[in-house]
Amino acid sequence: MQQAQQVAELVKLLKEGAKSDWGREISAQDLQELTECVIQIFAARTRDMEEALAPVDEWFPIPGKSRITDTDALLFVHKLLLGKNLELFEVQMFRNFC
């Protein structure tokens, strides 16, 4: 349970950073490593839910009433696809098989 509390504290800290300029002071490497960890945790949780036949369609990486703008979401996805050298065709093929 201690780890869950630490994650909650990290989320609170990052929310403060997103609202202020100090969030821009996070190094690119730290931000990349944080993003990588979050993606790995999210993917593992999604796979676990699929194996348990849980309603995965209702499981999204952001809440329904997210503060993330469409532009911010697209920018993140665009950079993620570039970083992984994935094309939209490959994404669509993956979606067809899920």
How many angstroms separate the Cα of 79 from the Cα of each of 1, 48, 68, 76, 83? Answer: 34, 27, 16, 5, 6
- Percentage helix, strand, coil, to 5, in the chain? 75, 0, 25
pTM of the model: 0.80
Q: Radius of gyration (Cα) for the chain, nearest Å?
A: 16
pLDDT digits (tens, 9 = 90+) for 22-80: 888 889 999 999 999 999 999 998 888 877 776 666 778 888 888 899 999 999 999 99
| Amino acid letter, 46 | T
| pLDDT, greater one: 85 or 53 | 85
Sorted by where each begins, the domain ranges of the chain are 62-98
